[in-house]
Amino acid sequence: MHGLLSESALCQGLDLAPIDGLVFGGHEVRRSDFVASATEIHQNGGSIQWPVLQALRGELRALSRNVVPGALANAGRTIERLVGDDGGKLPQRRPLRAQIEAVQRDIRAFQRRHGLDRVVCVNLTSTEPPLPLGKAHAALAAFEQALDRDDEAAVRSSALYAYAAAALGLPFVHFTPSNATLTPAVCELFERTGAPYAGADGKSGETLVKSALAPMFKYRNLRVLTWQGYNILGDRDGKVLADDDNKSAKVATKDGLLPQILGYPLHTHVGIDYVPSLHDHKTAWDFIHFEGFLGHRMSMQFVWQGCDAILAAPLVLDLVRLVDLAARTGESGPQRHLACFFKQPVGVPEHDLHAQWHLLTEWLQQQRAAAQR
Amino acid sequence: MHGLLSESALCQGLDLAPIDGLVFGGHEVRRSDFVASATEIHQNGGSIQWPVLQALRGELRALSRNVVPGALANAGRTIERLVGDDGGKLPQRRPLRAQIEAVQRDIRAFQRRHGLDRVVCVNLTSTEPPLPLGKAHAALAAFEQALDRDDEAAVRSSALYAYAAAALGLPFVHFTPSNATLTPAVCELFERTGAPYAGADGKSGETLVKSALAPMFKYRNLRVLTWQGYNILGDRDGKVLADDDNKSAKVATKDGLLPQILGYPLHTHVGIDYVPSLHDHKTAWDFIHFEGFLGHRMSMQFVWQGCDAILAAPLVLDLVRLVDLAARTGESGPQRHLACFFKQPVGVPEHDLHAQWHLLTEWLQQQRAAAQR
Amino acid sequence: MHGLLSESALCQGLDLAPIDGLVFGGHEVRRSDFVASATEIHQNGGSIQWPVLQALRGELRALSRNVVPGALANAGRTIERLVGDDGGKLPQRRPLRAQIEAVQRDIRAFQRRHGLDRVVCVNLTSTEPPLPLGKAHAALAAFEQALDRDDEAAVRSSALYAYAAAALGLPFVHFTPSNATLTPAVCELFERTGAPYAGADGKSGETLVKSALAPMFKYRNLRVLTWQGYNILGDRDGKVLADDDNKSAKVATKDGLLPQILGYPLHTHVGIDYVPSLHDHKTAWDFIHFEGFLGHRMSMQFVWQGCDAILAAPLVLDLVRLVDLAARTGESGPQRHLACFFKQPVGVPEHDLHAQWHLLTEWLQQQRAAAQR
Amino acid sequence: MHGLLSESALCQGLDLAPIDGLVFGGHEVRRSDFVASATEIHQNGGSIQWPVLQALRGELRALSRNVVPGALANAGRTIERLVGDDGGKLPQRRPLRAQIEAVQRDIRAFQRRHGLDRVVCVNLTSTEPPLPLGKAHAALAAFEQALDRDDEAAVRSSALYAYAAAALGLPFVHFTPSNATLTPAVCELFERTGAPYAGADGKSGETLVKSALAPMFKYRNLRVLTWQGYNILGDRDGKVLADDDNKSAKVATKDGLLPQILGYPLHTHVGIDYVPSLHDHKTAWDFIHFEGFLGHRMSMQFVWQGCDAILAAPLVLDLVRLVDLAARTGESGPQRHLACFFKQPVGVPEHDLHAQWHLLTEWLQQQRAAAQR
């Protein structure tokens, strides 16, 4: 199964949860069901082929029943508008504490209903506008006070989910760039309850290429002067990122890696534009201008034409299985060895894809050794 | 000085020969002098700028006197024609042994005249047509018999230089893809005289990118179905490679790396075409077709626009200084840690640029440690 | 219906045969049926979507019965091998005259069976290796003598079809680059029987772009130094063109237009390579190097990612309707106004797409005027 | 001389002013001289080569004396800042009428000093922020009242030059996208004084390609869904366009042509970003998404790598000679036949480059015919 690292030779000999043993559920603020979504993907982009769609129809219909109404707090104008666009209506404002408890009840009920050993939470909400972080996010006590006084300005929807998971001691994967999710306050709670967490922002396309390619310039002492990147994409993801607020969060995680890898400041730009006709066929053009011997300037360009969902879905499966394994073997805190999956890895300022890969392979080696003891 | 690794932070603390201490000389079969060549480069590609050209004119004129007539043996129609095109005339056929001795006399005279500690030989001859290798190349004794009976079919020009250097125990860098140079027979002589050697075929452009990028697909378990590469270039290099015989040698070193990095066979193609108007501004377009989750196919393209001489020149300086350092610290044989500089590294079947980089940094670390003892 | 010019505003007011009134039939040397072909296209490239495939299944099955065994003469190794690959077997060698008569009988039977007003013949055979043209092709009498003495070396399969159509006075569209089809001898027969003919080699992708773009350089007096084009494609078309013989025919029609449009010779190259994983998703990269004011050199590149069948199919429908209209209104001979559809237009040495467009719009204007009289 | 249409075969037989007979002068608000500018271009981009620079040094120095301090009115923050950046200082605010008279005196003095037959004015000021046009720009009388009451908000610098030229009855070329220049009020004055004028915004790069390529999609009835264009450029032009206000004027002229050519609305985007390292080597990437037969979607991309000054300079020479010819032969008003030179042609809503070319060649034909009478 291509795209899925946890099914490759690399992960042989590890005690990973079997894919067939996974049960999927979730929270959602839009009206949606998996069959309709899969059909839309089939029609718009062709990345789910007709026979696959037919084969999965029954299972998708059943899994749709595992999706329950989600939390929504201070989500920003664009996300709120999209909830309405899809024929839903914005839920009534509910107290933050009540929303968190509802999320926790839902998770426990889901676990009981399906007789699951463990629930792993993954944040796949739309990219939220950046939240100005302050005292309320620096320490757990302050954050809980903000929750207690129902201070909606101190949270975004994703913060409620992260807090809910942390409090329950559940492994957590933060797959989006939203900065309100894994704040120091929430991380403190994860440390306290002993659950592993990983993030942020799945690295599946243009940024993946950047992190593989930038080291090459370092290896040759070629000075990168400029790295411009332009991303065009459609569908709901593109619609959300068309809002400058939401886009700014994404640009931040996509743009930070080059100075870290190269070791010096340079001119960079990350553009993201909404192109409805592309649906999920994301296209990126990067232009790299660099200087070599005798000050001579040369350039390189690349064009990435990937299907975001197809690239991201297996990463989510890999991450779920790997944080589950970590939890099972008693690990907690930031999962630094999963850096290669993220645009902004928690706990380790390493963006070089190859260095990140070494972190992962070393950890897998240790896990394999431990499993054989 | 960008492009030059040996002047970067990476090489600090090493006892490298200072660049100012290097004296350049060489063998050449065409009529040429450095001022004319540099002027041609300035006019055609602009990669040597006017003020640099002016500043170096005197030194280049002086260095031109260090260039003496070179060996030429079984070089193939295209190289022989180019000798004539440039206003020279093909030298009379001389016995192989006599040519080798002349090369060695030239080297020794050059060393004496400039009072040099050590001479490092670098093969920068045009890409030769592949030589069918047989018994005469498998062992030193057989090769020397071929030389003794003046069997020109058993050599190419570059073999004479490599043999001459090996016999004198001089460090040797094989910067081209020619397969007649570092044959097992010649390597045996290097081992016997205790000189280090490195090669083959400097990795400066499209192949460099390939070796940086291919691992990314492995890291994500994305199956590469096809990797097509098209190179267009002008100048003498392009003219030589327009000959299918010479091209085949180049294609072989450019095309072999992907299955090694990825671990499976795939559809690859390397095109090289002569485009006179480009002069030294080489352009390459690569198209990569790959399969991800659910069998969905996606693609990536890159365009590399580099100036070959500007990219290759500092590699030569780096390699000269590094094999000189190796010789000085008593190392001999294939310099595996220099793999990152070559399309077809001798002595180590490793093409992943990042793995190659680790080999280099480890060696430098050891050298640095030794230097501090 | 996009892609179809004859359904656009441009063709309003013309007495074109309605698409629903067309009945399709043909000759084929491979074992094939339309349902299997359409299913293969659906699976490999997605360009025929599942619901369309389902809706057409019955009609395709019915139409498959209109396909009868075709002629095969001096077709070249690759085409002959493909016949075998597809599970068919090479038909026994039959006399050329007998093959022509069989084709004619098939056409007449097809026409009678479906009660058709007129049959239009379209040559869609695979690209044949170029045939050395000689005296036998220069005049009808000589060609008929060659047929009489059953001289297979004087023909290719497509010549038999063209002769058969010409002799019956049927309109003919030559959609491939094969040079054996519309020879002067065959054109003489078309003139004699008064049928219109058009060709050669449908212009659907990279060459279309070339013919639209090259005039721009002329308009600005920018001197094009080099125009390199690289085409990669899969499926049966790619397989046939992987044979250097067949490819040479294609390259000739793709490469000739630039000097005609620009008015001076220039360095050009057309590469065609077989990339199985692409199926019908043809990709082309063109690099254009040009010189402007003060001799400064600049460049332009384009990448064309088209689906050949999707682009070619409507051209065939357009051409069938337009030559049918021509025949109905009493026109005969080379259809110069259809130049914009072809890489090598018969009867008019015009490759500039915009000039070709003017030829077409003028003719349509005349037809419309005549229709209103 | 490539790039220069007026020196090509197209213009033979016309009574154009000889290039050697042109004398250049101008107004400038920065401190500058031609030698310094040419040297900067040589060093940064190489588009003026060293020997050319050397050969022209004396003439450039002499011509620099023809440049006098220019008008500046309501120019916007970025242009005003650049005046300061270059070591100049913002001139004191002067009354609009006084500035116009000064410009006119300068022009007349320049003409007298050099004994010139005619002065042609070309607006080459930096792109100004769009001016909200109102009653004051709709008619000459209202505009002159605004000048009389010294209403700076009603003008930009370029309006003063245009008015000055119109009042003197001088031919005028508007080479930038600024909307304050050729307002209806100013055009009314040109009509009254009988001078020809042309504009707006020289079409030299990405937009030129767009206008050549877009018709192709129309010719094939291929529906363009999306046309995204991204421009990156450095130098002073890039700096000015980095200001969103100034950029908006440019984007408007670059983005309007597609619906006109194609005949329907579509999703378009024009990005312009400042990349200092590129200097004058402008690079543009365009992505075109289109739909063909059976609703299948395909794409095309192009990359344009041009040197803006090298492309624009000969257009200015061509335009000067052509409007001079028009004036000499008694033409006045908007020069519709010069549409092919502009992104937003005055007086004719035609963006199709090929249709524009026909307008030009027809006019040249008439001029040639008239010249021979």
User: What confidence tens digit (pLDDT) does each residue in D54-81 have?
Assistant: 999 999 999 999 999 999 999 888 888 8
A206-307 classified as CATH 3.10.290.10: no
Give the pLDDT confidence score for residue C88 in this predicted structure.
65
Neighbours of chain C (3+ CB pairs under 8 A): A, B, D
CA distance C360 to chain B (A): 36
List all residues 6 or more positions away from A134 whose beta carbon is below 8 Å from its beta carbon: none
Cα A286 to chain centroid distance, Å, stands at 22
Give the minimum alpha-carbon distance from A277 to chain D in angstroms, rounded to a whole number: 7
Q: How far apart are CA A338 and CA A361, in angstroms?
A: 10
**Mean predicted lDDT score pLDDT of chain C:** 93
> Across the interface, do A221 and B340 touch by the CB < 8 Å criterion?
no
Interface B-D: count of C-beta contacts within 8 A: 5
Structure tokens, D165: 């030229």
- Across the interface, do D277 and A289 touch by the CB < 8 Å criterion? yes
Residue contact A293–B302, C-beta within 8 A: no
Burial annotation A48-68 (CB, 10 A radius, 16+ → b, else e): bbbeebeeeeeebeebbeebb
- pLDDT of B218-275, one tens digit each? 999 999 999 999 999 998 888 888 888 888 888 887 778 999 999 999 999 999 999 9
Task: Give the mean model confidence (pLDDT) for residues C89-109.
Answer: 92
Average pLDDT, chain D: 93
Query: How many residue pairs from chains B and C have C-beta atoms closer than 8 A?
Result: 55
Q: Report how far residue D298's alpha carbon sits from residue C205's, in angstroms, rounded to the nearest whole number.
A: 11
- The tens digit of pLDDT for each residue in A13-52 reads 899 999 999 999 999 988 878 999 999 888 887 889 888 9
| Residue the block writes with tokens 């009042």 | D167
Whether residue C367 is predicted with pLDDT greater than 80 in this model: the reply is yes
Q: What is the ipTM of this complex?
A: 0.95
pLDDT, position C87: 65
Task: Kindly list the residues from chain C whose CB atom is less than 8 angstroms away from the CB atom of residue A46.
Answer: 46
> Quick one: pLDDT at residue C131?
95
Q: What is the DSSP letter of B317?
A: H
H or E element, residue D273: strand D267-274
Residue A86 has pLDDT above 70, yes or no: no
Mean pLDDT of chain A: 93
Please report residues of C whose CB lies closer than 8 A to that of A50: 50
Binary contact (A277, D226; C-beta < 8 A): yes
Tokens of C314: 């409507």
> B301: nearest CA in chain D?
D301
Residues of C in contact with A49 (CB under 8 A): 46
Q: Is beta strand D281-291 parallel, antiparallel or unpaired with respect to D223-233?
A: antiparallel
Reported as a single tens digit per residue, the pLDDT across C283-337 is: 999 999 999 999 999 999 999 999 988 999 999 999 999 999 999 999 999 999 9
Question: Between chains, do C277 and B297 touch, taking CB under 8 Å as contact?
Answer: yes
CA of D208: which chain C residue's CA is closest? C216
Residue predicted with more confidence, D13 or B373: D13
The pLDDT tens digits of the residues spanning D318-363 come to 999 999 999 999 999 999 999 999 999 999 999 999 999 999 999 9
pLDDT of residue B43: 86
Percent of residues, chain D, with pLDDT higher than 70: 99
Share of chain D above pLDDT 90, in %: 81
How confident is the model over D268-322, as pLDDT tens digits? 999 999 999 999 999 999 999 999 999 999 999 999 999 988 999 999 999 999 9
CB contact under 8 A, B289 and C273: no
Q: Check A46 against C50: CB less than 8 A apart.
A: no
Record: contact C50-A50, CB cut-off 8 A: yes
Question: Which of C230, C276, C283 faces B267 most closely, judged by CB atoms?
Answer: C276
pLDDT digits (tens, 9 = 90+) for C222-270: 999 999 999 999 988 888 888 888 888 888 877 789 999 999 999 999 9
- DSSP conformation letters of A194-245: T-EEEESSB--SHHHHHHHHHHHHHHTTPEEEEEEEEEEE-HHHHHHHTSHH
B44, closest residue in chain D (CA to CA):
D49
Low-confidence residues of chain B, pLDDT below 50?
A: none
Mean predicted confidence (pLDDT) in D203-224: 96
Q: What is the mean pLDDT of residues D159-177?
A: 97
C12-37 per-position pLDDT tens digit = 989 999 999 999 999 998 887 899 99
Q: What is the average per-residue pLDDT within D202-223?
A: 96
For residue B33, count CB atoms less than 10 angstroms from its CB and return exposed for 0-12, middle for 13-18, buried for 19 or more: middle
Amino acid C198: pLDDT: 98
What is the number of residues in chain A?
373
Percent of chain C residues past pLDDT 90, beyond the cut = 81
Cis peptide before D200 (omega within 30 of 0): yes
- Provide the shortest C-alpha distance from residue D260 to chain A (in Å): 20
Nearest-CA residue of chain B relative to D301? B301
Yes or no: say if B33 and B66 are a contact pair by the CB < 8 Å rule.
Answer: no
Cβ atoms within 10 Å of B192's Cβ, excluding its own: 13
What backbone phi and psi angles, to 5 degrees, belong to B65?
Answer: -70, -15
Q: Could you give phi then psi for residue D92, rounded to 5 degrees?
A: -60, 145
Superfamily of domain A5-202+310-372: NAD(P)-binding Rossmann-like Domain (3.40.50.720)
Nearest neighbour of C275 by CB, restricted to B228, B232, B275: B228
- Could you tell me the CA-to-CA distances from C148 to A257, C144, C164, C185 in Å, in that order? 76, 6, 14, 14
pLDDT digit string (tens) for D116-145?
A: 999 999 999 999 999 999 999 999 999 999
Instruction: Give the pLDDT confidence score for residue A92 in this predicted structure.
Output: 83
Nearest residue on chain B to C284, judged by CA atoms? B287
Which candidate from C300, C305, C314 shows the least CB-CB separation from D305? C300
Confidence at D262, pLDDT banded by 50, 70, 90: very high
Neighbours of chain A (3+ CB pairs under 8 A): B, C, D
pLDDT, residue B335, reads: 98
Which residues from D are below 8 Å from B303, CB to CB?
303
pLDDT, tens digit, 9 for 90 and up, residues A253-272: 777 899 999 999 999 999 99
- What does pTM read for this prediction? 0.96
Residue A273: closest C-alpha in chain D? D269
Q: Look at residue D44 in the predicted model and tell me its pLDDT.
A: 85
Q: Do B310 and A298 touch (CB under 8 A)?
A: yes
Which chain B residues are Cβ-neighbours of C297 within 8 angstroms?
277
The residue ranges of every structural domain in chain D are: 5-202+310-372, 206-307
Which chain A residues are within 8 Å of B222, Cβ to Cβ? 2-3
Per-position DSSP letters for A60-129, written without gaps between them: HHHHHTTEEE---SS--HHHHHHHHHTT--PPPP--HHHHHHHHHHHHHHHHHHHT-S---EEE-PPPPP
Q: Which residue's structure tokens are 């500035």?
A: D99
Cβ of D46 within 8 Å of Cβ of B50? The answer is no
* Phi, then psi, of C272 in degrees rounded to 5: -135, 120
